[in-house]
């Protein structure tokens, strides 16, 4: 009868087995790398930088504008278009936020410790082991323990009985059995002592945490009560300090004497629409007063002609007018979807902020705020209007062109492009304007 016997395999044979394992790992990695798709395909996707070339007939100055859309023809159409544009603007912001969140990839800790790529690799290219998320560090970590293990591997082979080997193996087995049997008995007192110590430490930690929670809650309650009393006592002064659209010079219902000859002279050279009163009696009644703040500046807008025109006045450090322009409505655009909003508000090449703005009639206006040859971000403004205290946010840019008109006709025509947003509406407003002599308004 053939008996099974334990035999110790030499280290040379073990090293050969480890070498075979390493070769197998490398071969498997090569097969996976060849099976995986290239980076250009695996990492494809995301947001495309291309977008529509025009919106409501407006496009970049180097392109031919179209006339596919017209402004809303009625008040109800205008309100509905603005509401839809508000929803589209919200969708645009949500899409941009989702795109930014999807591109913000956090590397795992194990990846951060790997060696950087050398200069021989181009940016964006990946090494062989990177394709399968495996590098040399991973191979070393997997292989080194195999070589550092010095304990002999015991296997079962079917050899003939060997008395010498059997007699050598029996003492080893007996010694091992005795050591294993004695280990629990020796470890029992130590384990009991460790468990008791751990219980005491855990009890102390729980008690300390409970005390900290109670003390922290008491302190937090006192702080909250103090802040509430301070805010309650400061409420009247805060309300009184709230900025108002009113000024000592401007109020709703005031009368503005305007010389109609200025608008008559400007008519052949500009697209500014004069208010009806300015061509008749020469007196205008202010229907609303708006205060515009942003970019370290403050303007006052005196709305006339049923809100379709306004005088924009800037005050100097002494509180006296030093600039006045009249703007009338040229056009309005209510973008229907997020991509159309992107045509206007894209951070790199949106129409709002371009060096040159082209209108539908072929006129080209140079950027008046921060002239240059590259795209810049529009100015963020906030306007509060009275009566009613309505507030809206604006992204605005001012453009200008020379009219070529002889004096005393206006020599400059301005184009104010704004993305306006209210709680329930959003749209693009385009207004054209001219300079108004301060003496003619008699504001001081």
Phi, psi dihedrals of residue 175, rounded to the nearest 5°: -65, -40
Residue 321 has pLDDT above 70, yes or no: yes
Annotated domain spans of the chain:
255-441
Q: What is the pLDDT of residues 206-221, one digit of tens each?
A: 888 888 888 888 888 8
Q: In 258-380, where does DSSP find H-type helix?
A: 260-266, 338-345
Q: What is the pLDDT of residue 35?
A: 56
Q: Is residue 314 a contact partner of residue 321, using CB atoms and an 8 Å limit? A: yes
Residue 295 has pLDDT above 80, yes or no: yes
Q: Is residue 424 a contact partner of residue 395, using CB atoms and an 8 Å limit? A: no
Instruction: Check: pTM over 0.75? Answer yes or no.
Output: no
- Give the number of other Cβ atoms within 10 Å of residue 267's Cβ: 14
Kindly tell me the burial class for residue 328, based on how many C-beta atoms sit within 10 Å of its own C-beta (0-12, 13-18, 19 or more). Answer: buried
Q: How confident is the model at residue 60 (pLDDT cuts 50, 70, 90)?
A: confident
Residue with tokens 């300079």: 435
Q: For the chain, what is the radius of gyration of the CA atoms?
A: 40
Residue 126 has pLDDT above 50, yes or no: no
Q: Is residue 93 a contact partner of residue 86, using CB atoms and an 8 Å limit? A: no
- Name the nearest CA neighbour of 259 among 439, 126, 111: 439
Q: What is the pLDDT of residue 434?
A: 97
Q: How confident is the model at residue 299 (pLDDT cuts 50, 70, 90)?
A: very high
Residue 309 has pLDDT above 70, yes or no: yes
| Mean pLDDT in residue range 19-39 | 63
């Amino acid at each position: 009868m053939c008996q099974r016997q334990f035999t110790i395999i030499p280290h040379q044979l073990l090293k050969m087995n480890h070498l075979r394992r390493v070769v197998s790992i490398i071969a498997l990695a090569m097969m996976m790398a060849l099976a995986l798709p290239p980076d250009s395909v695996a990492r494809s996707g995301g947001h495309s930088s291309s977008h529509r070339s025009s919106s409501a007939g407006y496009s970049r100055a180097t392109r031919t504008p179209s006339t596919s859309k017209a402004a809303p023809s009625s008040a109800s159409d205008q309100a509905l278009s603005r509401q839809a544009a508000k929803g589209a603007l919200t969708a645009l912001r949500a899409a941009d936020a989702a795109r930014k969140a999807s591109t913000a990839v956090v590397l795992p800790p194990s990846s951060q410790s790997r060696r950087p790529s050398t200069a021989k690799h181009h940016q964006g290219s990946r090494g062989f082991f990177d394709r399968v998320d495996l590098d040399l560090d991973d191979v070393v970590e997997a292989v080194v323990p195999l070589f550092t293990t010095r304990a002999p591997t015991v296997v079962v082979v079917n050899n003939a009985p060997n008395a010498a080997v059997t007699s050598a193996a029996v003492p080893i087995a007996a010694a091992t059995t005795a050591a294993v049997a004695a280990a629990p008995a020796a470890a029992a007192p130590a384990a009991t002592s460790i468990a008791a110590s751990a219980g005491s430490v855990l009890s102390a930690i729980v008690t300390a945490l409970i005390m900290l929670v109670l003390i922290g809650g008491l302190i937090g309650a006192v702080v909250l009560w103090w802040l509430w009393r301070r805010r309650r006592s400061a409420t009247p002064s805060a309300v009184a300090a709230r900025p108002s659209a009113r000024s000592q010079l401007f109020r709703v219902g005031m009368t503005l004497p305007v010389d109609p000859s200025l608008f008559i002279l400007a008519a052949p050279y500009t697209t500014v629409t004069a208010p009806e009163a300015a061509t008749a009696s020469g007196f205008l009644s202010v229907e609303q007063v708006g205060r515009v703040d942003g970019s370290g500046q403050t303007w006052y807008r005196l709305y006339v002609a049923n809100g379709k025109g306004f005088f924009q006045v800037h005050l100097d450090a002494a509180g006296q007018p030093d600039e006045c322009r009249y703007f009338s409505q040229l056009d309005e655009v209510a973008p229907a979807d997020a991509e159309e909003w992107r045509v206007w508000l894209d951070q790199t090449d949106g129409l709002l902020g371009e060096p040159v703005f082209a209108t539908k009639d072929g006129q080209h206006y140079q950027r008046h705020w921060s002239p240059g040859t590259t795209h810049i971000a529009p100015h963020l403004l906030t306007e509060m209007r009275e009566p009613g205290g309505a507030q809206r946010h604006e992204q605005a840019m001012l453009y200008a062109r020379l009219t070529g008109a002889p004096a005393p006709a206006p020599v400059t025509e301005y184009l104010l492009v704004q993305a306006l947003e209210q709680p329930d509406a959003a749209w693009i407003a385009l207004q054209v304007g001219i300079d108004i002599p301060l003496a003619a308004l008699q504001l001081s």
